[in-house]
Amino acid sequence: MSAFGTLATPVGVIGVVSDGAAVTRVTWRTTPPGGSVVVPDTGSDPLLVEALAQMAAYFDGTLRRFDLPVDLGPQTEATRAVLTALHETVAHGETITYGGLAARGGTDVPARGIGSIMGANPVPLIVPCHRVVAGDGLGGYSGGEEGHGLETKRWLLEHEGALPTSLF
């Protein structure tokens, strides 16, 4: 059974799912995904407590790299390779283009396919898909509250210092 806890952040309520051994999901929702239970006392899952604490530290600016075990779930070999390359090589405050990540992932996935892989990322923020940008702008983002994906991506990149703060 998985445990689910939430954290209010500047970009909406973040939900985190833990199976006790790894973080299996990070989402923008206040209700648990299927198969998870809301844990009123998150202390019953130490990993969930730690994940929520690290999320809070990230949003208050004191954490630059998550140190949490993650389980990406069933993914293709190419998807796993690209998400792993992103997680291990693109640091806080950096960005990489879709094409750059395609090359760094060591697969034959074309740059256009990287966007689909980013959309399949079950643990955004921890595996920082918001740091993947188009060669000519922000690109897309499926994270954030519904209808606020690009706004969320811009906020996250500004928060990390990867983009100058918007004037508007």
Domains and CATH numbers, the chain: 2-59 (3.30.160), 77-159 (1.10.10.10)
Q: How does pLDDT run across 62-86, given as a tens digit for each residue? A: 999 999 999 999 999 999 999 999 9
- Provide the 8-state DSSP code for 10: T
pLDDT band at 46 (very low <50, low <70, confident <90, very high): very high
Q: Is the pLDDT higher at 122 or at 44? A: 122
Place of tokens 């995904």: 33
Share of the chain above pLDDT 90, in %: 67
Q: Is 129 a catalytic residue?
A: yes
Q: How many CA atoms lie within 13 A of 119 on its CB side?
A: 10
Distance of CA 67 to the CA centre of its chain: 13
pLDDT band at 125 (very low <50, low <70, confident <90, very high): very high
pLDDT band at 19 (very low <50, low <70, confident <90, very high): very high
Distance of CA 28 to the CA centre of its chain: 10
Q: Is 67 helix (H, G, I), strand (E, B) or coil?
A: coil
pTM score, whole prediction: 0.90
Whole-angstrom Cα distance, residue 28 to residue 64? Answer: 20
Query: Annotated catalytic residue: which of 82, 90, 129, 157?
Result: 129
pLDDT band at 107 (very low <50, low <70, confident <90, very high): confident
